[in-house]
Amino acid sequence: MHALMMDRPLTLPSILEYAAQYHGQREIVTRTLEGPIHRYGYADALARAKRMANALTAMGVKPGDRVATLAWSTYRHFELYYAVSGIGAILHTINPRLFPDQVAWIANHAEDSVLLYDPGFEDLSDLLAAKVPSLKTRVVMCDAANRPAGTPGDVLNYEDLIDANSPEFIWPEIDERMASALCYTSGTTGNPKGVLYGHRSTVLHSLAVRAPDIYDVAQRDVILPCAQLYHANAWCIPYVGPMAGAKIVFPGRFLDGPSVCELAIAEKATFILGVPIIFQGMLDHLDATGQEITTLRTLIIGGSAPTPALIRRVESKLNVSIRQGWGMTEMSPNGVMNTALHSHGDMTPDDIIARKQKAGRAQWGVDLRIVDDEDNELPRDGVTPGRLQVKGPWVASSYFKGDGPSAFTADGWFDTGDVGALDPEGYLRLTDRAKDVIKSGGEWISSLDLENACSTHPAVALSAAIGVYHPKWDERPLLLVMLKPGETATPDEIKDHVAAQVAKWWIPDEVRIVESLPIGPTGKVMKREPRDQIGVATPLKVTQG
């Protein structure tokens, strides 16, 4: 017997329609690329999204076509999240921080037909026009007064399109399982891979992350998203914000400490999310100026794990409890969130810090398992490490065009490439990326744990632990360390500092002080480059032990 309930497709335009009707004047604030602060409400955003939907339809954009963006976090980019997906096309947000050749490869692989780009990306736009045969139309996201000099005449202006089209538009009926957006992984191993999100999966993900134990977003909140809109499905903020009727403050291009703090103070931010380096910059600025942010209610850290030192510093300075989240582009992106259980009320401060260093606790909608190399599930004892696999209604079932099939198991799980352990309470402790784990004498050494131990040294800014060939043990740890400006420390001092916190056989065979380490777009140290360089550089000082 079927239920006697109405059937309404779970599609994205319904979210902005709701926000416009019930929270129409709730603000969306943007620090524009031109400089001034722009303000409007959800009702205005819906009207402009419908104008752009009319413009795209007139261009000949059809359901399933890929429409690319090279843009920062602004109200115009936000509008495209609805205008493009709402007509059945696919919004392809490209990370402009990638190498130009990677950007061209991605656009070709996606077969983008339209490109909308912010001023400042003229070179990338011209590159794609020359190298992407499928690209038919380009739009610069500004008005005529701010159109960059030398822009080709066939490039359209965003605001001209807005002015020329009607705000009256009826969203077409869309199958909720149709694709809505496309985002490519960073390509740390091999070419980037496309993750194709759907209307249904994104609506379900948005509903789930609004929950009190995840994002805990409500109408009273003022959200300052310090993850750019092109990154990992924008961490779902373009959907969660209007679904809740919360105010959103888009930071534009600049995410440095002074810029973020200025917006947070002026707009009374209650909810900030970003990678650890964002919060380090904020704290440095607040310490230097004596300013305070007094309105924060929720602070989400993702992208990479915060160190114990950063957790203590954030919570002391900002008077807010950190929530660490973990997920992936392939997971829309949220998978787990680190919030306390009721039974944790009697935890000591040290136990609380230890709990907060874990990636987080499983949430409804995401199943987790830890397996060995034969895909046998391992015990949830918090100790036994293995490969982390996930599944759920907002987890990718394959990559775009069938790339990377080995990441998907025969019984329907996605192999994340992470190594970790699950404890009896459901908390996930990530110990490494599978490609970064150091395999020494048949045992695994966590590069993340070595880096966390190193990070507690007061002179250390960043570190990277990598495995280097060893004739007896297969691999041994090499620790690359970048010091804070003006600080000094010897390799032996740092080695002794780490040795006091890890098992004896984990102690790095060598510590090297380096001037810099390569940082990726999410603030993580990119280990592939130093690993490749070490392969041909001065050999490790072998400890035969």
Residue 387 CA neighbour count, 13 Å, CB half = 17
CA distance 404 to 397: 11
Report the distance separating Cα 277 and Cα 274, nearest Å.
Answer: 8
Q: What is the pLDDT of residue 446?
A: 81
Q: How would residue 523 be classed by pLDDT, with cut points 50, 70 and 90?
A: low
Residue 358 contacts by C-beta under 8 Å, 6 or more apart in sequence? Answer: 324, 338, 423, 427, 428, 429, 430
Q: Where are the beta strands (DSSP E) in 315-371?
A: 322-327, 334-337, 360-362, 367-371
Instruction: Give the tens place of pLDDT for each residue, 351-378.
Output: 998 899 899 998 999 999 999 988 999 9
Q: Which residues have a catalytic role annotated?
A: 185, 330, 439, 444
- What does the alpha-carbon distance between residue 472 and residue 349 come to, in Å, rounded to a whole number? 41
* Residue 375 to residues 371, 386, 406, 431, Cα–Cα distance (Å): 5, 9, 13, 18
Provide CB contacts within 8 A for 366, sequence distance 6+.
331, 334, 335, 336, 390, 391, 392, 394, 395
Residue whose C-alpha is closest to residue 180's, from 166, 195, 190, 161? 195
pLDDT tens digits, one per residue of 23-36: 999 999 999 999 99
Share of the chain above pLDDT 90, in %: 79
Rounded to two decimals, what is the model's pTM?
Answer: 0.85
Supply the Cα-derived Rg of the chain in whole angstroms.
24
pLDDT at 196: 98
pLDDT value of residue 116 = 98
Q: Exposure of 412 by Cβ count < 10 A (0-12 exposed, 13-18 middle, 19+ buried)? A: exposed
DSSP 183-228: EE---SSSS--EEEEEHHHHHHHHHHHTSTTTT---TT-EEEE-S-
| Residues with Cβ within 8 Å of residue 157, at least 6 apart in sequence | 139, 140, 142, 143, 144, 147
Same CATH topology for 13-253 and 438-536: the answer is no
CATH of 13-253, one of 3.40.50.12780, 1.20.1250.20, 3.40.718.10, 3.40.50.1390: 3.40.50.12780
> Which of 311, 303, 309, 326 is CA-nearest to residue 519?
303
Task: Give mean pLDDT, residues 480-489.
Answer: 93
In this predicted model, what pLDDT tens digit does every residue of 283-307 receive, in sequence order?
999 999 999 999 999 999 998 788 8
Question: 113: helix, coil or strand?
Answer: coil
CATH architecture assigned to 438-536: 2-Layer Sandwich (3.30)
Residue closest to 354 by CA, chosen among 389, 306, 394: 306
| 353 alpha-carbon distance from chain centroid | 23
Please state the separation of Cα 59 from the chain's center in Å: 31
Confidence band (pLDDT; 50, 70, 90) for 189?
Answer: low
Higher pLDDT, 94 or 540: 94
Q: What is the pLDDT of residue 432?
A: 74
Query: In this predicted structure, what is the pLDDT of residue 474?
Result: 76
Is 157 in contact with 179 (CB distance < 8 Å)? Answer: no
Q: Are 160 and 185 in contact (CB under 8 A)?
A: no
What would the two tokens of residue 365 be?
């909608």
Q: In whole angstroms, give the CA distance from residue 184 to residue 92.
A: 9
Counting Cα atoms < 13 Å in the Cβ hemisphere of 225 gives 30
Helices (H), 267-376: 276-289, 308-318, 349-356
418-444 confidence digits (pLDDT tens): 999 999 999 999 887 777 878 786 667
**Three-state SS string across 409-438, please?**
CCCCCEEEEEEEEECCCCEEEEEEECCCCE
Length of the chain counted residue by residue: 545
What is the residue extent of each domain of the chain?
Answer: 13-253, 438-536
* Residue 537 pLDDT: 41
Instruction: Name, in order, each residue with C-beta under 8 angstroms of 409's C-beta and a sequence gap of 6 or more.
Output: 375, 389, 415
> Does 522 score more than 60 pLDDT?
no
Amino acid at site 207: L
Cα gap 239→224, rounded to integer Å: 14
pLDDT at 228 over 90: yes
Do the strands 367-371 and 360-362 form a parallel or antiparallel pair, or are they unpaired? unpaired
